Structure 1
Amino acid sequence: MRVGLEGLACDAQGDRKHHGGPEKALHHYARDHYPTWRQLIGPRALLDTPGAFGENLTTNGLTEESVAVGDTFRLGGALLQVSQGRQPCWKLNARFAVPDMALRVQQTGLTGWYYRVLEEGYIKRGDELRLVDRLSPEWTLRRLWRALYVDTMNLDELAAMSTLSHLADGWRGYAEKRLATRQVEDWSRRLSEGA
């Protein structure tokens, strides 16, 4: 499969305003999280194969605890860089038939992450995802998640987050806006359709 600057040539997003684009070219979700979801929401046929969370890539052994924004990976002929974590939306509620699934994903921090494509190329199932560079290993996706959703007005964390040049503009923008307004954005529309 060819990986271009906006993702897989064979892939499409129904909502280009909120999904896809250069900063969300590929979505990675840890296969390690699937057993946790079986415990939390019960058995679902959807959880029997990869792709339940809309991911393009899945692995074992990489999670939000160990992956950091700016981490750069070689996958087949493509070079990928972690751009941001995933912000779950209400479409997960419908997909899993769990009314608050998006909120649960956000609250657990088991969100997955997005890549930008630094070098286009071809990939195939079974290609090794090999770490080639770490720009800010201290800024794990778990730390970013904590700053956005748990310790939401930690001004020191927000200030540091706003300076990460390799963090997607949208996520840096959250930090900058909170610093300026001293308010946390309303997540209800994203988490619950029609809210």
Structure 2
Amino acid sequence: MAGFDILELRIGRSKPLGAAGALSAIDKHKVGGALAAGPLGLDGDEQADRKYHGGPDKAIHAYAVTHLPGWADELPAQAQRFRPGAFGENLVIGGASEADICLGDRWRIGSALVEVSQGRQPCWKLNLRFDVTDMARRVQESGRTGWYFRVIEPGLIAAGDRGVLVARPHPAWTLNRTSHLLYHDRMNRMALAELARLPGLPDNWRRLAEARLSSGRTEDWSRRLGVS
């Protein structure tokens, strides 16, 4: 593919979310100018729960702006919430979605070199963010999850920058295919074994694939999705 555009750059700090006041930095604000991108993400950005968010494999979150009208149509009562930044993304992406992005892709954005590490595994905080009790499950089933970049070479990123593909080592592993395997074709043993062998795959995803192969079962998603 030719590339994608950075339409907005967003960062945020942790603050209470929902009635219980769970800390989250999902509410990210738009910033002008360039920000430094380093191993732990964009300068000034924060993640509330570093066990499940942030870290080198989840340094920068990206979301495709093309998904927003579809969400608004699907959930008209929350339509006004589906604006750039709605999903807590750092990079609002134009011109690409999960169908166009592959695991392991390396992209030059501004002066930074980033690599696609994994798709987002949605959690219960999305239910609170949108006031939709099953929003995390909807995101998971739809494949419109967004994705994470790890930073290979630190640099500056700004709105208006264009992502230029530098390397695509796993062209067969689009994020759409990966999502379909994880959440729909869940016990495809051949595909799981192939996924587990991919160089650069985050350890948690490798363990997930290996656990399914050894147990013959899918892991329990209820706690992550916030469903009983």
TM-score of the aligned structures, taking structure 2 as reference length: 0.82
The aligned residue for residue 124 of structure 1 is 158
Give the Å deviation of 1:45: 2.7
Deviations 1:42-79 (A, max 9, x none): 1533223x110011112222111111001110011110
Give the Å deviation of 1:130: 1.0
Higher helix share: 1
What code does the residue aligned with 1:123 have?
A: I
Q: Distance in 1 between matches of 2:149 and 2:205?
A: 14
Give the Å deviation of 1:9: 1.2
Task: Give % identity.
Answer: 52
1:26 corresponds, among 57, 60, 82, to 60
SS in 1 for 2:176: helix
Aligned residues: 193
1:44 aligns with 2:76: no
The aligned residue for residue 20 of structure 2 is none
The aligned residue for residue 192 of structure 1 is 226
What code does the residue aligned with 2:180 have?
A: R
Deviations 1:64-119 (A, max 9, x none): 11110011100111100000000000000000011100000001010011011000
What code does the residue aligned with 1:27 have?
A: H
Give the Å deviation of 1:183: 1.0
Q: Distance in 1 between matches of 2:223 and 2:163?
A: 35
| Aligned-residue RMSD, C-alpha | 1.1
The aligned residue for residue 97 of structure 2 is 63
The aligned residue for residue 44 of structure 2 is 10
SS in 2 for 1:130: strand
Whether the 8 Å CA contact 2:40–2:54 is kept in 1: the answer is yes
Give the Å deviation of 1:22: 0.2
SS in 2 for 1:16: coil
Give the Å deviation of 1:128: 1.0
2:131 corresponds, among 94, 97, 100, to 97
Stretch moving more, 131-140 or 39-48: 39-48
Once superposed, which parts of structure 1, at least 4 consecutive aligned residues long, lie more than 2 Å away?
43-46
Q: Distance in 1 between matches of 2:169 and 2:59?
A: 19
Q: Distance in 2 between matches of 1:47 and 1:145?
A: 22
Structure 1 gap segments, 5+ residues each: none
